[in-house]
Structure 1
């Protein structure tokens, strides 16, 4: 096996932002489990176009034994993965924390209910890396997808001061969600988790996932469940 230049990614530094993905025209880098990784050494040309895109300085070039760069295979791979690359490079996967301090809800007049209380991005549980900084020691609000549509004052009454995660236990992959929640509990050590669910029976799966994740992770966290009716009323606080 020849010795050549090839990309090296320091996973301890990588925060999974995805900035490096679109800069690699060969499609050698993907975000996997919240970290940038080489999907195949044969796709990496070792020229380092991705170096300047990493805000965490997690990417470097090293010389070591590696398979030869296969340009034809890289071009074919890149063509097949164009849509996937577009998903990773768009803002849906870029972690952002907004300038509203967690744990210190901002007081505002009741007559201005339309002001956003969102303090993090992304919010979809599938897209949020377990090591996201906005989860660390946070009060997490895990809400069913339908809740913000049913409850008119979602931001004012539930979201302020919390890191938001959204999921649907009926339509999504609950096994993957359980694994993600276990990782979040272990990495973030959240201060509390509030589950905001709809009254339909399947929605109770969210609370079960959180309790199971707490149990399997070995991290004990206060868990509160609030149920919202399909007409928008608060039915239960538990």
Structure 2
């Protein structure tokens, strides 16, 4: 079948091994000093390993590959003496919700109402200064990108972090996207064009703590490398509980 799957550039790989623990399926190993995808059917193609590669050696490509197999993942991890990720295995063969990725794990968050005295009086003003915000819809020539302090945020981040506008968005141009559900290659090409065609002062990436969301960091790093400019990059990780990690 034709699907998205991890691609490792051995010339860029320095064998640091940071990608290995980030792959919950155990699909990557260090072999002869280089990271290797050991089997196509163990890779879900979500790219949780992308953001952990300091050399930008890991990307997602679309090619002919064996279908991702959750049963094979469980058997492989059992042989390695590692627990299977939540959502993997025969019991998880209900309609797929992300191939066992932690971003799709259903949970309740025990949140107590804030004391009345802690609530701010009145309505807080939005810090959004442009439209649209979805990366697919923002043209690289948008006037609000010129000389901008650019914020690239995961779709979920503004909902998880209560003070997103005040702490992160104020004074910035905003792009939002999801590296798991959207076309990461299209994001990379669009962001590269934005960085190349505008005098971006700084790029800040606000992403969620779930592994697949680190794909935004990889996209940002690759876009900076491809645009030919030295754009400062800052990354901020938001926990599912709404805290800054």
TM-score (norm: length of structure 1): 0.51
Deviations 1:90-114 (A, max 9, x none): xxxxxxxxxxxxxxxxxxxx75672
Which 4+ stretches in 1 moved above 3 angstroms?
110-113
Which residue of the partner structure matches residue 211 of structure 1?
Answer: 221
Report the RMSD for the aligned CA atoms in angstroms. 1.2
Which residue of the partner structure matches residue 14 of structure 1?
Answer: none
1:165 aligns with 2:175: yes
Q: CA contact under 8 A between 1:113 and 1:153: conserved in structure 2?
A: no
Q: 1:133 to 1:142 in 2, by over 3 A?
A: same
- Structure 1, unmatched stretches of 5+, are 1-109
Whole-Å separation in 2 of the counterparts to 1:160 and 1:228: 17
Computing the radius of gyration from Cα coordinates, the structure with the larger value is: 1
- Structure 2, unmatched stretches of 5+, are 1-119
**Counterpart secondary structure, 2:176:** strand
Deviations 1:44-70 (A, max 9, x none): xxxxxxxxxxxxxxxxxxxxxxxxxxx
Q: 1:139 to 1:210 in 2, by over 3 A?
A: same
Q: Offset of 1:217 from its aligned partner?
A: 1.1
Which residue of the partner structure matches residue 225 of structure 1?
Answer: 235
Which residue of the partner structure matches residue 125 of structure 1?
Answer: 135
Q: Offset of 1:122 from its aligned partner?
A: 0.4
Q: Offset of 1:220 from its aligned partner?
A: 1.2
Q: Offset of 1:219 from its aligned partner?
A: 1.3
Q: CA contact under 8 A between 1:141 and 1:196: conserved in structure 2?
A: yes
2:164 equivalent among 142, 147, 154: 154
Correspondence list, 1:83-94, <5 A: none
Correspondence list, 1:40-189, <5 A: 114-189=124-199
Whole-Å separation in 1 of the counterparts to 2:136 and 2:154: 13
The structure whose RCO (Cα within 8 Å, separation 6+) is larger is: 2
Which residue of the partner structure matches residue 110 of structure 2?
Answer: none
